[in-house]
Amino acid sequence: MLSFETMERKLQSALSLPRYIHTMGVVKTAVKMAKKWGVDVDEARVAALLHDCAKDYPEEMKRRFCKEFHVPLDETMQACIDLCHGPLGAEVAKREYGVTDEAVCDAIRYHTTGRPGMSDLEKIIFIADYIEPNRKPFAGLEEGRALAYEDLDLAMEQILKDTIDYVKERKRPLHHLSVEAYTYYHQKGKEIRKQNQET
């Protein structure tokens, strides 16, 4: 695997300036959250750095690389090619940046859609992407920021709900993994709230 500094330099040339600034905000947030939740800081740092490594590729390049790297595009990703930047990014992280850690690759792979039963590292990258300090204020952001340091599952539930509402409002394609993830974390949320009431 490349050194973090080498990765950062290489990535900088692959991203627009606003995307790079966003990425460094995610890195900072993910490291802070990893320390809070006892997750490997180096894994969090690398996953956060590379989470959007394929985001700024032009549409045709995304489609070509998905074909070349055998990244399956389901119906929703075909309709909204930007959704492939997670799974494609995981492959780019392996091939271009020498990442061999599957936990890091999974955190990159699912940082946009989420999925049921995510690892703490996956949750941290998903949440950090949403709450990083360079985000312009929007409804639910401060709640997400607070929950990120109180309970990862409750943060996942809230962020997934807000994301699904946002996608529906804009009549964009909604990925089935996001729906499945919300169902999963909504159930976890109900259990956590019930436990909190009982204590």
What would the pLDDT profile of 54-103 be if each residue is shown by its tens digit?
A: 999 999 999 999 999 999 999 999 999 999 999 999 999 999 999 999 99
Token pair recorded at residue 60 = 């045709």
Domain ranges of the chain: 4-198
| Sequential DSSP letters for 9-36 | HHHHTTS-HHHHHHHHHHHHHHHHHHHH
CATH architecture observed for domain 4-198: Orthogonal Bundle (1.10)
Q: Is the pLDDT at 189 greater than 90, yes or no?
A: yes
What would the pLDDT profile of 139-169 be if each residue is shown by its tens digit?
A: 999 999 999 999 999 999 999 999 999 999 9
Distance CA 145, CA 67 (A): 37
Listed residue (173, 11, 38) closest to 108, CA to CA: 11
Q: With cut-offs at 50, 70 and 90, classify the pLDDT of residue 199.
A: confident
Distance CA 40, CA 35 (A): 8
Which pTM does this prediction carry? Answer: 0.97
Listed residue (46, 47, 96, 49) closest to 69, CA to CA: 96
